[in-house]
Amino acid sequence: MNVKEYNQSVDLYSDNVFRFILKNIKDEERARDIVQDSYEKLWRNAEHVNPEKVKSYLFTTAYHTMIDILRKDKRQTYMEDYQIPEDMHDEQYSDLAEILNYAVKLLPEIQRTVILLRDYEGYSYKEIGDITTLSEAQVKVYIYRARVFLKSYIGKMDLVV
Amino acid sequence: MKITRDNYEPFFLDYLEGNLDENKIDQFLDFLVQNPDLKEELHLLEHVHLPEEQIIFSEKMMLYKSAADEKVVTENKAIAYLEGDLDDDDRKSFETYLATHPELQKEYTVFTKTRLIPEAGIKYPDKLKLYKKSGLTVVMKWAVRAAAVVVLLWGINSLFQNENQPTAVKSNQEIAALSPKVNTPVKTIESAKKSQETENQEELKTENESKLVKTKSIRRQAKRRPAEKVPTVLPSAERDLTVLAEITPITTKLDFEAEASLLAVSHSVNTEKINDPRNIMTVEEFLASRAKKAGNEGLLSAQRIMRLGLSVASELSGQRISYKVKGGKVSSLDFESKLMAFSIPLEKK
């Protein structure tokens, strides 16, 4: 890939990768570093990366960097106590979206990862499996479990609301 | 079949379990009479019997099917439908099932709400750091930087020239006009006195004539001192001759400016001095003279070479660059201009 294609990938995917990582870990600074690190790796390997697979390359690199960091970090904490700043809120943010956002934080790490890739990026089971080094069957099971959890959480909150 | 010593075992088992045919029982008993050793073996086999144990499978509950299982199956179907995992037949089947079970429609609606929507508000803030520039852009960037440096240097250079030129021009003009300027006020005073005398003498003349004479006198004065700009003197001074006396301090001012201009000349490059054949030296002679001034150390000592270089730089820059020597070593470099002045200490602490 050339400079133009690389810069296009910054425009197209940097927000997505950042959002994906930020949703998985608590630390915004680290999320930024991971995105930057992923793009550095992409640039270093630009000659060998197929421009059509840049997005997958970025997500795969970012995911594994994140996992490495989380494993190394003994003090890893997930997003339970992380609050997205007010200015980051979408204007269309509804009660349901807030409930769902909170429920996603409660998911096990791997379920959260696969369902974010599925819903945010529209990846297939196979693509998610390639990114996370899981089998398609495992990905499917995690997504199903995540859906059931989210559905039951929404259902409960629906009664409360 | 006749019972023999080779095939008696199945008959023994059938007899013990009560499965031996009645018409073979007599034959079997005759065989035992004829073979007493086997009759003992049959008695031994009668005692071989495994007692019944009370072993219960405790996970029976997991095996039972219930309405909950049906719910899980339905949920899985709903999720599969949502994810697009069902083939056409299963999809149509589920749609039919859903249509006939309104209570499931609500469940399915909740499932549809579990789809996560990306938050557009979350954006990566450091995109500018990620962009890469092509080789041409980098070259252009450096070219622009180089051009900026050239422009800056040209600007500084022209600034220094502007600092010198007006002063030099002014000084030249004023030096040229120095003698008339010094004398002119005296003449002015003399002519003023003369006009005063004339006025006194011709007191009797008509006022109009007097004005005419004074006007002529002033015109003559104006002709005598064309270079003097300031005393195009106040029209109100026409009658009041004491005002002319007040011009005297202007002489002092002009003298002061002349000194200032002389000082400016000393800072600027003195072209007359340079063009004077007596002052013209070759580069070697110039450097040799500066080297002589630079010190008495060895010819190639670092301090001497440094002082020589600084001395030359100082002279070429009109003493804007200077240096201080402490203990035989250059202790600091100084730069001074109208815009800025700074000093760089070179001593090691």
> For residue B295, is it left (φ>0), alpha (ψ between -120 and 50) or beta?
left
Long-range contacts from B150-157, C-beta under 8 angstroms, 24+ separation = none
Residue B344 φ/ψ, nearest 5 degrees: -115, 110
- Residues A77-91: pLDDT tens digits? 555 444 444 444 444
Q: How many CA atoms lie within 13 A of B297 on its CB side?
A: 13
Best interface-test mutation with A: which of B119, B133, B139 has the largest number of A CBs within 10 A? B119
Domain ranges of chain A: 1-77, 92-161
Q: Would you state the CATH architecture of domain A1-77?
A: Orthogonal Bundle (1.10)
Does any CB of chain A come closer than 8 Å to the CB of residue B84? no
Q: Which residue has the tokens 């003195």?
A: B270
Q: What is the CATH number of domain A92-161?
A: 1.10.10.10
Q: State the DSSP string of B36-58.
A: HHHHHHHHHHTT--PPP-----T
Min Cα separation A72/chain B (Å): 24
Pairing of β B321-326 and β B329-336:
antiparallel
Contact A79, A129 (CB under 8 A): no
- Determine the pLDDT at residue B254: 47
Tell me the average confidence (pLDDT) per consecutive run of 10 residues in chain B, 349 residues long: 88 88 89 90 82 81 71 87 91 89 85 87 86 74 83 82 55 48 47 54 51 52 48 48 54 48 50 60 71 64 78 78 79 79 73
Rounded percentage of chain A residues whose pLDDT exceeds 90:
48
pLDDT of residue B339: 72
Token duo for residue B115: 């789809």
Q: What is the pLDDT of residue A93?
A: 45
Task: Determine how β-strand B341-345 pairs with β-strand B329-336.
Answer: antiparallel
Write out pLDDT tens, residues A6-35: 888 899 999 999 999 998 887 888 899 999
Residue A123 backbone dihedrals phi, psi, to 5 degrees: -75, 150
- Dihedral sign, CA of B18, B22, B26, B31? negative
Q: How far apart are CA B189 and CA B211, in angstroms?
A: 19
- In 3D, which of B79, B117, B252, B106 has the Cα closest to residue A121? B117
What's the pLDDT at A118? 93
Residues 36-95 of A with CB under 8 A from B: 36, 39, 43, 84, 87-90, 93
**From CA B84, how far away is CA A122, in angstroms rounded?**
12
Contacts with A148 from chain B: Cβ below 8 Å: 75, 79
Check whether A94 has a pLDDT greater than 80. Answer: no
| Better-predicted residue by pLDDT, B70 or A145 | A145
From the list A11, A93, A116, the residue facing B116 with the nearest CB is A116
pLDDT at B232: 46
What letter would DSSP give residue B297? S
Residue with tokens 């730069």: B335
Name the token pair of B216: 């002529």
The type of residue at B257 is E
Residue in chain B closest to A13 (alpha carbons) equals B124
Q: Does B106 touch chain A (CB under 8 A)?
A: no
> Between chains, do A84 and B119 touch, taking CB under 8 Å as contact?
yes
